[in-house]
Amino acid sequence: MPLNLKGRSLCSMKDLSTDECMQLLHRAIDMKTELRAGRAAVPLAGKTMAMIFQKPSLRTRVSFEAGMTQLGGHAIYLAPTDISIGQRETTEDIARVLSRMANIIMARTFGHDIVTDLAKYATVPVINGLSDFEHPCQILADLQTVLEKKGRLQGLKLAYVGDGNNVCHSLLYGGARVGMYVSCGTPDDYRPNRTVVAEAAEIAARFNAKVEVVADPHAAVRNADVVYTDVWASMGQEAEAEKRKKVFPPYQVNARLMASAKPDALILHCLPAHYGDEIDFDVSRTPNCVIFDEAENRLHVQKALIVSLLGV
Catalytic option among 21, 184, 270, 289: 270
Q: How confident is the model at residue 239 (pLDDT cuts 50, 70, 90)?
A: confident
- Taking the C-alpha atoms of residue 167 and residue 273, their distance in angstroms, rounded to an integer, is 14
- Taking the C-alpha atoms of residue 187 and residue 112, their distance in angstroms, rounded to an integer, is 24
State yes or no: pLDDT of 26 exceeds 70. yes
Catalytic option among 138, 144, 252, 302: 138
Burial tier of 56 (Cβ tally within 10 Å: 0-12, 13-18, 19+): exposed
Q: How confident is the model at residue 36 (pLDDT cuts 50, 70, 90)?
A: very high
E strands present in the chain: 48-53, 74-78, 104-108, 126-130, 157-161, 181-185, 211-214, 226-229, 266-269
Give the strand pairing for 104-108 and 126-130.
parallel
3-state class (DSSP) for residue 177: helix
The ranges assigned to domains in the chain are 13-135+298-310, 138-294
CB–CB of 68/74 below 8 Å?
A: yes
59 tagged catalytic: no
Q: How confident is the model at residue 3 (pLDDT cuts 50, 70, 90)?
A: confident
- Taking the C-alpha atoms of residue 223 and residue 276, their distance in angstroms, rounded to an integer, is 24
39 tagged catalytic: no
**Which of the four CATH numbers 3.40.50.1370, 3.30.230.10, 3.30.2290.10, 3.40.50.10320 does domain 138-294 have?**
3.40.50.1370
Q: What's the confidence (pLDDT) of residue 142? A: 98
How many whole angstroms from its chain centre is CA 73?
23
Nearest to 19 by CA among 9, 34, 4: 4
Do 13-135+298-310 and 138-294 fold alike per CATH? yes
21 tagged catalytic: no
Integer CA distances (angstroms), 108 to 123, 135, 155, 311, in order? 19, 9, 32, 23
State yes or no: pLDDT of 56 exceeds 90. no
Q: What's the confidence (pLDDT) of residue 285? A: 98
Helix/strand number for the chain, H first, E second: 13, 9
Q: What's the confidence (pLDDT) of residue 287? A: 98
State yes or no: pLDDT of 2 exceeds 80. no
Mean pLDDT of 188-202: 98
Give the type of residue at 56.
P
Catalytic option among 230, 269, 280, 289: 230
Q: What's the confidence (pLDDT) of residue 270? A: 97
Q: What's the confidence (pLDDT) of residue 35? A: 96
- Taking the C-alpha atoms of residue 119 and residue 97, their distance in angstroms, rounded to an integer, is 13
DSSP assigned state of 40: -
CB–CB of 293/145 below 8 Å?
A: yes
Q: What's the confidence (pLDDT) of residue 130? A: 97
Q: What is the pLDDT of residues 6-18, one digit of tens each?
A: 999 999 999 999 9
CB–CB of 84/29 below 8 Å?
A: no
Catalytic option among 11, 21, 27, 108: 108
Mean pLDDT of 294-304: 98
11 tagged catalytic: no
Q: What is the DSSP string of 46-83?
A: T-EEEEEESS--SHHHHHHHHHHHHTT-EEEEE-HHHH
Catalytic option among 27, 59, 177, 298: 298
Q: Report pTM.
A: 0.97
Q: What is the pLDDT of residues 171-180, one digit of tens each?
A: 999 999 999 9
Q: What's the confidence (pLDDT) of residue 86? A: 73
Q: What's the confidence (pLDDT) of residue 301? A: 98
State yes or no: pLDDT of 85 exceeds 90. no
Q: What is the pLDDT of residues 109-149, one digit of tens each?
A: 999 999 999 999 999 999 999 999 999 999 999 999 999 99
Burial tier of 188 (Cβ tally within 10 Å: 0-12, 13-18, 19+): exposed
86-108 as b/e, with b when 16 or more CB fall inside 10 Å?
A: eeeeebeebbeebbeebbbbbbb
230 tagged catalytic: yes
108 tagged catalytic: yes
**Which of the four CATH numbers 3.40.50.1860, 3.40.630.10, 3.40.50.1370, 1.10.357.10 does domain 13-135+298-310 have?**
3.40.50.1370
Q: Is 84 left (phi over 0), alpha (psi -120 to 50) or beta?
A: left
Catalytic option among 27, 112, 135, 300: 135
Mean pLDDT of 223-236: 92
Q: How confident is the model at residue 1 (pLDDT cuts 50, 70, 90)?
A: low
Q: What's the confidence (pLDDT) of residue 12? A: 98
